[in-house]
Structures are given as C-alpha cells and as structure tokens.
Structure 1
Amino acid sequence: MQGRTDRRPGAWLGLMLAGAVAALPAQAAEPDFGPHVHVLAPGMPGIQQRIDDIYAAQQTNHFGPRRDAILLKPGTYRDLRIPVGFFTQVLGLGQHPDEVHVIGDLRSTAFLENDNATQNFWRGAENFSVTPTLGIGDNTLQWAVSQAIPFRRMHVRGNMRLNQREGWSSGGWFADVKVDGVVNSATQQQWLSRNSAWGRWTGSNWNMVFVGVSNPPAGEFPTPGQRFTQVERTPLVREKPYLFIDAKGAYAVRVPALKRNSVGVSWAGGRIEPGRTLPISRFHIARPGDTAAALNAQLAAGKHLLFTPGEYLLTETLRITRPGTVVLGIGLPTLRSDNGQPLVQTADVDGLTVAGLFLDAGLQDSGVLMAVGEPGSRQRHRADPIVLHDLFFRIGGAAPGQVHTALRIHAHDTLVDHTWLWRADHGQGVGWDSNPSAHGLWVEAEDVTVYGLFVEHFQQAQVVWRGNGGRVYFYQSELPYDPPTQAAWQSPTGRGHPSYLVDPAVTRHQAWGLGIYSVFLQPGVVLDRAIEAPRAPGVRFQHMITVCLVDKGSIERIINDAGEPARCRGGSNTATLKAWP
C-alpha cells in the first residue's frame, strides 16, 4: 500500500527544516558557573544594562567581597561599552581572539581624583578583540591601570593609552597582545610587555621592559624618555590556559604548550598554538561554599579545578599533587584561611598550572600562603615545568591579616608569569603591627624564571633568592611605607632591609629592568641598599632605577655600594644604574 503524503500547506517545509535541525551538531549544555559568571552572546537583549550594573557595583569595590566574570561568546558585539571595575574579568570564549569582536569600548577609568589610576588594581581582559570606536577618541582604548591587571591574548584594532588624561598610573602588564596602532604609555610609571606586537610604542617614565616583542621602541635605559629594556626573545614560557567554546558548542580549556626563544603573539595569522584541550567535563567547577575537603577530593580523583568568582574560606590546605593538573580561576576568586593553614601546596611534579587566583592572608599566621614543592624538592622539570600565571597575594587591606612569607618556591625550573605580592599600605587592618609580613617571595629552587615580579611593602627583604640560575624580567617594588623608626627597621647589613636580596652562596642569577621606590612616612628612615647580591661571574643585573617619592628619607645605593643616592631632600630623587657589576 502506498504511503500517504501530507499535503497541508507548509508541511513539507516543516519536514525539511526538522531534518536540517537534526543534522546540526547538538549544543552542549551550559555549565552552571553560578550567579557571578555572566555569559553573554551577540544579540542577547539587555547586554549593555547587565554590564553597566556590574560596573556600578564594582567601580568603587576596592576591598569588598564581590567578584564577577563576564564571558563573551563568539560573534560581533556592536556599539557595546565595557567599563571594567575592581574584581572584574572580561573573557572572550573564542578559540582565537578575533572570534569575539567588540566594536565600541573597553575601558579602565581612574579610581582616585585627578585622573589618578595608581589604585586601579584587580581587573583584567583576555582573549578577544576590540575596535574602540567609542573610546576616548582617535580610535583609542584607555587602559588606566596599576598592579594585578592581566591583559592577555588581546587584539586592539586601533590605539591604546595606558593612563587617563594627565593622571598617574603605576605598574602594568600585558602578554600575547597585538595593538594595530600606537601604544602610548604616557604617565605610566613602569610596564612589562611580553610576546606582543604593535604599530608603534611611545612613552617612557621609569622602567619599561620588553621581552619577546617584535617591534620594541628605539632608545635605551637610562636616557630620560628612553628608559627601555629590550630582551629580544622570551627564553621559556607557557601561555596561560583559557576557557573557550569549541565547534560543537561545548566548553573546554586550552592549555598551550611550552615554547622556547619566542617572539611576538602566539595566535598571529589565525593560528592556534600547539597544546592540549581539556573538556569541561574533566574539571570540577568550584563555587563559593565548596569546602577544602571537597576540593581536595576532586583533585585526588583526577579532576582539574575551575574556580568561579567569589570568596572561599578554606579550613585546610588545597593540595595539588597529580602531574599536569590545571587549577584555573576566572573573576579573581579569592582564597582565605583564618585558622593558620596555608592556602595552596603543590607537589614536586611535572606540568602543574595554577592561574588566576587571589590569595588573602588570614587572621592567624600560616607561615606561607602558597608553597610550590616542598623543602628539599629534588626533581627537575626542564621539559614540563610548573607554571604560575596571574597570582595575586594580599596581606591586610580588606581585613587584618598576617603571614611570614606570601609565596615560597622549592620546585626547580618553575615559571612565574605575572604576580603581585602586596602587604597592604591602605585599607582596613593596616599598620606596622596590624598586618605583619616579612617577605613576599622566597626562592629555594634552581632555574626559576619570573616575568613580571611586583612585590611591595613587606617588612624585611621583599624578595629572597637562594637558588642558582634565577632569571627575573621586570621587577617593581615599593618599600614599606610604615617603619615607625630606623631602629625598628634594621638588617644585618645596615639601615633598612634591601628590597631584593640574593643569597651570598648564589653563583648564577640574572635580572633585567628593576625599579625600587621609597615612600617613608616617618622622618629619619633611610635604606642603605635597594639590592644586595654576591659578586660572582654569573650574577648580573641590567637596568636599575631607584626613586624617592615623598619628602622624607632616601635610598643611598642601588646595589651593594654601587649607584648614586635617591634622596627626597638634598639631591636628586632618582638614581639609575645601567649594569652591575
């Protein structure tokens, strides 16, 4: 018997459309990232209002608990303005930065009066492109920022300015960034650019460092207006993992491969860099309220961790022990312990990645906030190192906190790709006896490499380096503001503690582009030496500057007994040294 044919109007078209829909790949379910991950798509109604509401909450949230991540699905967003406030991260979900295109504006606006962006901390943008038609004019994106502001894997289809009008900004970073036009650093005091490219760079203040940049500016430190440090190639790095949506609509995390002697952006020409892709199913999506015991159980079971925005009060240490584990935070998730337990401890194993976390000191001294490896670690990781990206440490500021040392590195060959370790100089629970902390970074391991080391206000040496083969590309450090007297701030080698201390037993160490600054609030406080290091054939420092920023005190020498004083009264407030020894 011949089958019947439905001849109702539109029936045949409906069958065709149904078949076409069935042939399309099924869209994966949207992960539950929680209420402070805002997933947006082109054409979604109310996008601008949602972004404006986030900014209204975060614009002045200098020390508050709220955290937000804005995720942009692939496509073009027309006439969209994205202001970025405190504790906000904007992330594109393309596999390539140009798969997400914002035509409009991305902006960081100065937090303080008089266009002052020196407290514009804790915000970031990654993995998308911007055409700044609604910027500050002349197709220019304004990114007025200071510390802890990861700007990565970005394509600015225009120009970029690193301050606001004539106001100050102080200490920034970008990596894997392409700017089609001009980057104007203007009053920006110091900056590190790694593996980036632009049409032209203009501007210099104290300390501008370029590593693996294809078109660095001409001129060389210490010439005023040309205080540039150029390192032709990035010797060894693994770019930060990023969240993206694959061709089937499923979320995944791309972990780029280790690269050596690299120049320029990893995604030039539309390529996807070598690496591995981890489906989101292999991650435990952590949300505030998860206990440390539950997180450790997930890690022990072989899961990676994706931390979503918010505050996590941990009652035991997070232990990362399996080789190749990825722990990735979005929206600056904040870990804190008030019972004297360290926040993070890694094993001495290959290929760990810890990225995008904010570590806050608690009420009881835990000794250390994060330890990489353990004392006596012996394994070598040359082919597959542990890598830390965008880790930010805070002692005080939001509440009283204390810790002896913020970050200790025991595992050989570790790479650190941007960190800010900050003993708070303002906010709540701030004072010589209120937020005590001796050291920011302590390195015991060999062949540790750091790109972008920001360490400030600790009460003894900001950095202690005891392992051979260390390399630091860009160092920015303000000394503690608050020593009450010179007698309270003395080291075994003289008045005050050096900012950067290399142990006398070290025979190999190199550093490029170091800026060390004083803001002593009490009279009669000085520092004898900004840097102390042993005189050995393999110990070398390139391009150092010291600056006295207020009306009190001085830094008498740059490194050991070399370099002129930087005095706020009775001489120049700035001193430079091209090389030592």
Structure 2
Amino acid sequence: MSYFASAHRHTLRFNLASLGLPKASSLLASLTLASWALAGCQATEAQNKPIQTPDFGEHVIIMDPTMPAAEVQNKLDAIFKLQESNQFGPERYAVLFKPGVYHNKVRLGFYTQLLGLGQFPDDVMLQGGIQVEASWHDGDATQNFWRSVENLSVTPDNGTMQWAVSQASPLRRIHVRGNMLLDDNGGWSSGGFIADSLVDQQINSGTQQQWLTRNASIGSWTNENWNMVFVGVKNAPESKNWPTPPYTVVEQTPLVSEKPFLTIDGSGQYSVFVPALRKNTQGVSWQETHVPGAKLPLDKFYIAKAATDSAATLNAALDAGKHLLLTPGIYKLDAPVQVKNPDTVVLGLGIATLLPTAGNVALTVADVDGVKISGVLFDAGEKNSEVLLQVGDKKSATSHAQNPIALHDVFFRVGGAAVGNATHSVIINSNHVIGDNLWVWRGDHGNGIGWATNKTKHGIIVNGDNVTMYGLFVEHFHDYQTLWNGEYGEVYFYQSEAPYDVPDQQSWMNGSTNGYASYKVADHVQHHKAIGMGVYCFFDTNTSVKLHSAIEAPSGPDIHFDHITSVSLGGTGEITHVLNEQGERAYDKNYVSRMISQ
C-alpha cells in the first residue's frame, strides 16, 4: 500500500473487475484506490494514537465495512421500519458510512440521512442499492419528503436506483453505477433536486411533475411533465424545442459553493469539508485530485444535541468562535440562535429541526461573509414568529461578492406536525446570498392545518441584491409567496402551489385582483432573471376560486423570464394569466398554460 500512497493520484490505473467491483472511469477508479491507500498509510502511522469517536448521540449510527453485512442490514431495516410512514414524527436519524464496501440495500424513510464519510463519493461503495418508493401511500410519492443521501456510490442490485420523492429530499455528491427511476410505478411525485452527482446510465423521471438537476454528469434522460431544469449538466437533453419537451437547459452554473459535509481520515479523525466557491462550471466538483476548499477539524465544532441543548448553549458556543454540528433531533428554542462570526458553518445531520417556542426568530445571521447554513428544517411553533430565518439585520450596501453567504438544503414548515404560525418563513436582507435547494412550505395536510389555523403572509422575502437561487420551492402561503425586492436577483428553477384551502374568492383578494401572485418582483426592481418556473393551483375547498396571474413583475430591458408554466391540477380552479396579463388561462378545459419568455 505504501507504493500507492506515494504515487501521484492521476497516474494510478487498475482493473476494478479484479477487485470484484463494477466498472467506472479510470479517473474515478484512481481516486478511489488512492483514497483507500492513503487512508491505510495514515492509519498505520497513527496506529499507536487511539482516536476517540466523537459523541454524536444515539441517533447517529456509524457503519464500518468490517461489520458483518447482516448486522448492517438489520440496523438499516430497523430504522426504515420506524420511519417508512413517519411523516410528522419527532424521530431523526443520520447513518454514517466509513470508507469501504458494503453489501447492503437501503430502504430510506422519513427524516433519515445517509452520508458517506470518504473524501470522494467512491470511497464508500454501497453494493445493493438505495430504494425510495411509496407503498405506504399507495404508490403516490407526492408526500415523500425530508430525507437525503450524500457522498457515496450506489450499485443497484437490479441495475436501477429508485428515488420516488418530492420536495426536501436531495441527492448530493453521489455516483450511481446504473440507472435511476424517479417515480413509483406511475404514481405521482413532486420533487426534486440532485446536485454534484454522476449517474452512469439513464435517469427516467417517470411521472415527476418537475425536477432540478445541477452540476451533474448523466448518461441520458428520459420522460418529462411540466418543468425539468438542467443547470451545468454534462449530457443534458436538448431544449431547443421547449416546451416539446419541457426541458430547460443552462449550460453553466454561474456561481455556487457546494454543501459542506462530514468526513473522516485514515486515522479516524473527523472533520467538515467546506467546498470553495466555483464560477461558470459544468459537471461534478469531485473529479479532481485536490478539490478546492477548507477542511475544518471537528474540534472547531460544537456538537449539539436536541435533548440537552438550548438557544443559550448554542449561542455560547457560537460566541466562543465555534461552528455548530446539529445532530439529529428537534431543538426547541425560546430565543434566536445568533450567528455573528464570518465563515461560520451550521451543519445539520438527519434533518435537524429548529422549533421556536416563544414566538421568536429561530436563527439569525449577521451581515458577514461566508456563513454556511446547511441541512436544517425550520418548523414554526404554535405562537406566531415574525420570521423563522433572517439573514442580515437590514438591507445594507455591504458586499459579500468574494465570499457569499450560502443556504444548502434549508427547509421551512408552517403546520403539518402541529399547529404552527409564522408571518414569514425566511427574510434575506444581505447581498450576495446563494440559496441551493430551499423548500418553504405552509402545510396543506397533517395537523394544525386550515385557512385560519396555520396563518402566514409571505414564504420568502428577498431584500438583498445579487441573491441567486438554485431550486426554490415555495408553497401555499396566504399572500405573495415569494416577494423579491432586491436588484440583480437570479432564480434557476421555481416551483410553487397556490394555497389549497382558500374558502372563497372574497377571502383571497389583492385589492380588486383575484388572489396573490405566487412570485412578485417589486415594481421598483430594474434587474431580475428567472428561468424554469412552474406555478400550480388546486383550490379543493372552492373550485370557483381564481388566481389572476401566477407571476407579477415590472417590464424592462433587464427583466427576464424564460420557460414559465402554470397548471390547474386536475382543472381544480383557475390561473387566469401566466405573467402579468400575458398567457392563456389554466383551468378545467386547459390544464397547462406556458410562456416561452418575456
């Protein structure tokens, strides 16, 4: 092994078949073997230095390739049995796989995260596959939320990884050695998001209503419905005849930093890797020998636990200069968690959840450079909060262009688990913020649901300039769901549903206008761009309700909208126009209406 450790990683080539592993590109193979080799050398050097595993708590399960496959499988199956249909339960789990090969198949339920601990996805090889289906909901995957897989490779036992999900179910830094299927035997699904990933063969979107693929490399793509968006994707399908098929392709991703992730080295030392900012990119970030970024030792983090931590203890750790690692659980907060220091990382495991209990903000971010908030669900409490997440105290002229604030896999929920109230879910005041997969949801089913029960106004307000969103999902709020006041905003993929539960038209009027547009760009804004947008209605409590326009925006030479779709789901209600006064109506005789551009 010492020879491989000392060799340059780009020069390594070997036959994977000789190891009993599936074929992959020679570069990926090199990275994998070199990582294992280096890990072996590091382990040898550190064999006399015992490393104590951090105390992540009982809801973080660590798998080791030396464990018997049956033991690993039993643990995975036990979690799935608890979580398969546990849509609004309090349990949260993160399953961490140390580098190596696992002969297991994972069925993944609610509030469960699978995370490979290698430096590269192929350091953890899951030979058997990952499956998400919707048998618990009669094949309808439109409620398969709140789960994730990151930083590992998957070899499906039948050649196809099934990932029938909807919102808040991201895939990141994965290598699928085969095909992917995104539905469950023709049942509807309403996702989804995949980023920084390699799929060797075909992705079949099936009945998926919409999907965002960002910075990926795929073999091919088949099927479509309303809004399929590809940003910085190698081998994306052609889009020149939109909407036949409805593929929107942006060749390069203008500006993004990938999500931080937990990792381990050969000596057993844990750290969090924070990928660097990248500009004008296509394909995955991890096929280089040295991926740019910062490696933060775990001793720089405060490892939080929901059972024992409070706003006071979390703020004390932040004030001491620590980052936060939020282990799985529901953190009940009677005051805001305040992130004040630049470059602070707040990383949640297992869909860690922040729940304000006193009508307070759950988390605030000061107007400073480089903060990363990742893998967190904000859940509104019964007592109304004015806002759940606030980024920047107020609108300012401060630039973060060289080191943006980033929000990765950040989700918001008002009602569903219990009665919840929040006037706004997220307000972004800072400039140069990157949002990467946000689902902002006023609950439409579950507990505490009703027009006058889970009360809201806006889902998201953007006051900052140069804010960029990749994958913005905002649904069911009472007023404008998205209100954009800042200049030079850019959105790549937007999905929204009007509130289902409008009791009658008179209860939902914007002055003399029927309803509130889902996406509102303020009248004073002069520069804005949005690409690949879908706005839907389903007024199931009163089918005579109408929404005048899906999107409202000023006109001007630097206001651009491309590939916009409005849908009346099953013809249940009407969206009269797509953008301002333009576009045909979507209603029971014409479910789908489209506009190419403005």
- TM class, shorter-length: over 0.9
Partner of 1:152: 172
- Tell me the secondary structure at the aligned position of residue 75 of structure 2: helix
Q: Distance in 1 between matches of 2:133 and 2:50?
A: 38
1:496 corresponds to 2:482:
no
Q: In 1, are the aligned partners of 2:63 and 2:97 still within 8 Å (CA)?
A: yes
Q: Distance in 2 between matches of 1:94 and 1:273?
A: 13
Q: Distance in 2 between matches of 1:23 and 1:122?
A: 38
AA in 2 matched with 1:171: G
Deviation digits for residues 93-151 of structure 1 (CA, Å, limit 9, x no counterpart): 00100000010010111155442111000001000001112xxx3x0100000000110
Q: In 1, are the aligned partners of 2:423 and 2:458 still within 8 Å (CA)?
A: yes
- The 1:406/1:85 distance shift into structure 2, 3 A limit, reads same
AA in 1 matched with 2:169: I
Partner of 1:187: 207
Output aligned runs, 1:321-470, within 5 Å: 321-470=340-489
- The 1:22/1:516 distance shift into structure 2, 3 A limit, reads closer
Unaligned runs of 5+ in 2: 1-42
Deviation digits for residues 503-540 of structure 1 (CA, Å, limit 9, x no counterpart): 00000000000001000011321001000000111110
- Tell me the secondary structure at the aligned position of residue 398 of structure 2: coil
Residue of structure 2 aligned with 1:74, choices 96, 99, 119: 99
Partner of 1:17: none
Q: Distance in 2 between matches of 1:520 and 1:333?
A: 32
Q: Which has the higher helix share?
A: 2
Partner of 1:15: none
The structure with more radius of gyration: 1
- The 1:27/1:543 distance shift into structure 2, 3 A limit, reads farther
Q: Distance in 1 between matches of 2:135 and 2:523?
A: 42
- Tell me the secondary structure at the aligned position of residue 428 of structure 1: coil
Partner of 2:51: 28
Deviation digits for residues 143-190 of structure 1 (CA, Å, limit 9, x no counterpart): 000000110000001111111111111120000010011111111110
Q: Distance in 2 between matches of 1:112 and 1:168?
A: 14
Q: Distance in 2 between matches of 1:379 and 1:523?
A: 47
Q: Distance in 2 between matches of 1:189 and 1:292?
A: 39
Q: Distance in 2 between matches of 1:173 and 1:284?
A: 29
Partner of 2:156: 132
- The 1:66/1:234 distance shift into structure 2, 3 A limit, reads same
1:261 corresponds to 2:280:
yes
AA in 1 matched with 2:139: D
- Tell me the secondary structure at the aligned position of residue 570 of structure 2: coil
Deviation for aligned residue 1:277: 0.3
Deviation for aligned residue 1:365: 1.3
Q: In 2, are the aligned partners of 1:27 and 1:250 still within 8 Å (CA)?
A: no
Q: Distance in 2 between matches of 1:352 and 1:223?
A: 38
- The 1:552/1:24 distance shift into structure 2, 3 A limit, reads closer
Deviation for aligned residue 1:379: 1.0
AA in 2 matched with 1:277: K
Partner of 2:189: 169
Partner of 1:233: 252
1:62 corresponds to 2:98:
no
What is the number of equivalent residue pairs in this alignment? Answer: 552
- Tell me the secondary structure at the aligned position of residue 266 of structure 1: coil
Deviation for aligned residue 1:416: 0.4
Q: Distance in 2 between matches of 1:533 and 1:250?
A: 51
Deviation for aligned residue 1:358: 0.6
Q: Distance in 2 between matches of 1:114 and 1:512?
A: 34
Q: Distance in 2 between matches of 1:382 and 1:144?
A: 37
- Tell me the secondary structure at the aligned position of residue 550 of structure 1: helix
Q: Distance in 1 between matches of 2:493 and 2:45?
A: 54
Deviation digits for residues 315-371 of structure 1 (CA, Å, limit 9, x no counterpart): 110000001100000100111012111000010000100000010001111100000
Q: In 2, are the aligned partners of 1:362 and 1:401 still within 8 Å (CA)?
A: yes
- Tell me the secondary structure at the aligned position of residue 404 of structure 1: strand
When the two structures are superposed, what TM-score results if normalisation uses the length of structure 1? 0.93
Partner of 1:506: 525
Partner of 2:232: 212
Partner of 2:324: 305
Q: Distance in 2 between matches of 1:384 and 1:544?
A: 31
Superposition RMSD in Å: 1.3
- The 1:501/1:221 distance shift into structure 2, 3 A limit, reads farther
Q: Distance in 1 between matches of 2:345 and 2:339?
A: 9
- Tell me the secondary structure at the aligned position of residue 351 of structure 2: coil
Partner of 2:337: 318
- Tell me the secondary structure at the aligned position of residue 461 of structure 1: coil
- Tell me the secondary structure at the aligned position of residue 243 of structure 2: coil
- The 1:376/1:218 distance shift into structure 2, 3 A limit, reads closer
Deviation for aligned residue 1:44: 1.1
Partner of 1:248: 267
Q: Distance in 1 between matches of 2:290 and 2:122?
A: 12
1:115 corresponds to 2:139:
yes
Q: Distance in 2 between matches of 1:148 and 1:36?
A: 20
